[in-house]
Amino acid sequence: MAVTPVVTSRGAPFAVAAWLLVCCALVFAMVVVGGVTRLTHSGLSITEWQPIVGTLPPLSQADWDVAFAKYRETPEYRQVNRGMTLAEFKGIFWWEYFHRLLGRLIGVAFLVPYLWFGARRLIPPGYGWKLAGIFVLGGLQGALGWYMVKSGLVDDPRVSQFRLTAHLGLAFVIFAAMFWVALSLLAPARIERPGARERSARRFAYAFAALVFVMVLTGGFVAGIRAGFAYNTFPLMNGHVVPPEIMMIDPWWKNFFYNMATVQFDHRLLAWVLAFVAPLLWWKVRAAEGAPARARTGAHLVLAVLFVQIALGIATLVHVVPLSLAAAHQAGALLVFALALHLAHALR
């Protein structure tokens, strides 16, 4: 559907920002539900991509029989879930269905208000094309999600860790775009020239947010190859600081994407880096006398929530990835990312 943004010299920045924050909340829910879908091995239960027709679930016994018959043709059923009953199939089907339904809801929740704001000429100047770009990213995310699922409907009943990580990363990018635009509408950039300490804190905050995003991507690879089910000890990895298996695959570069030891080590290493960098960021913001109050509050929140997130990650690991802790850890990753963005925005 072609979308033509309408921009005028007026606008309703608070209303547009509130709408975007609601969409951010929906994306947050989408990330959590997506994590649960993956953890319950539900993602391959729907074998077709039907953006319109697929909005309705099976409504009759005959519909369920057709859906279950299609699933029984997949490698996952033949190799992993052979003998699964229809009742058990429904258990995994509903998670994937709600994940896809939430994706459709996000699309509607974004597009309809966008068109309404545009038609009433309420989009503030300079934001029309930014919002259109976010909508395009949302469409790409839906296609990428199906591209990911297709990788698990072939010989190996697992989705590609590369496609899963790309799908997760794009969800964070979409969240970041909407969140940043909402913050910009609510708190325009300050006019006064920042001092050296403020500039240093700002650069550091941007780098910290980028590092959190990289951490999320490494988490995607951990999930993609199920590396969290190995080396379930902390702080050592089965008695080693660096596990001896870390470079056992040839060629060497494949270890960073296929080797459980290397993938988990990278994720742990970045957690340690963030644990040391976050207090330094907090100190830099505190030392920047010109930093606004919301930046100082943001620095406190980043420091506190990051350490809660690290504790969740450790608990998830040592308890061998229970559903509740793993879902909370994935939610925590997006919360830390949001707080890092908020802090960087406050210092811009």
CB neighbours of residue 4 within 10 Å: 9
- On whether residue 134 sits in a domain, the answer given is yes
The distance in angstroms from the start CA to the end CA of the chain is 35
Alpha-carbon gap, residue 309 to 31, rounded angstroms:
16
Reading the block at residue 128, the tokens are 């029309």
Reading the block at residue 300, the tokens are 């406190």
pLDDT tens figures, 69-116: 999 999 999 999 999 999 999 999 999 999 999 999 999 999 999 999
Specify whether 201 is located in the same domain as 293.
yes
pLDDT tens figures, 292-312: 899 999 999 999 999 999 999
pLDDT tens figures, 157-175: 889 999 999 999 999 999 9
- On whether residue 293 sits in a domain, the answer given is yes
244 secondary structure, DSSP code: G
DSSP string, 51-66: TTGGGSPP-SHHHHHH
Domain count, the chain: 2
Alpha-carbon gap, residue 104 to 106, rounded angstroms:
5
At which of 188, 217, 239 does a domain end? 188
At which of 188, 203, 234 does a domain end? 188
pLDDT at 216 over 50: yes
- On whether residue 242 sits in a domain, the answer given is yes
pLDDT tens figures, 318-332: 999 999 999 999 999
Alpha-carbon gap, residue 158 to 79, rounded angstroms:
11
Residue 10: predicted pLDDT: 52
CB neighbours of residue 244 within 10 Å: 10
pLDDT at 238 over 50: yes
The answer to whether the CB of 260 falls within 8 A of the CB of 345 is no
- On whether residue 229 sits in a domain, the answer given is yes
pLDDT > 90 in the chain, percent: 84
- On whether residue 92 sits in a domain, the answer given is yes
pLDDT at 291 over 60: yes
pLDDT at 1 over 50: no
Specify whether 183 is located in the same domain as 196.
no
pTM equals: 0.93
pLDDT band at 192 (very low <50, low <70, confident <90, very high): low
Specify whether 201 is located in the same domain as 178.
no
Specify whether 249 is located in the same domain as 106.
no
Specify whether 174 is located in the same domain as 269.
no
Q: Taking the mean position of all CA atoms in its chain, how far away is CA 235? A: 26
- On whether residue 132 sits in a domain, the answer given is yes
Domain that holds residue 14: 7-188
Specify whether 112 is located in the same domain as 242.
no
- On whether residue 258 sits in a domain, the answer given is yes
Specify whether 171 is located in the same domain as 222.
no
Quick check: helix, strand or coil at residue 328?
helix
- On whether residue 1 sits in a domain, the answer given is no
pLDDT tens figures, 252-264: 999 999 999 999 9
Specify whether 63 is located in the same domain as 167.
yes
The answer to whether the CB of 17 falls within 8 A of the CB of 175 is no
Specify whether 19 is located in the same domain as 166.
yes
- When pLDDT is averaged across residues 134-162 and rounded to a whole number, the result is 92
Mean pLDDT of the chain: 92
Specify whether 286 is located in the same domain as 316.
yes
Specify whether 178 is located in the same domain as 235.
no
Specify whether 179 is located in the same domain as 254.
no
At which of 139, 158, 188 does a domain end? 188
Which amino acid, one-letter code, is at 302?
V
The answer to whether the CB of 255 falls within 8 A of the CB of 248 is yes
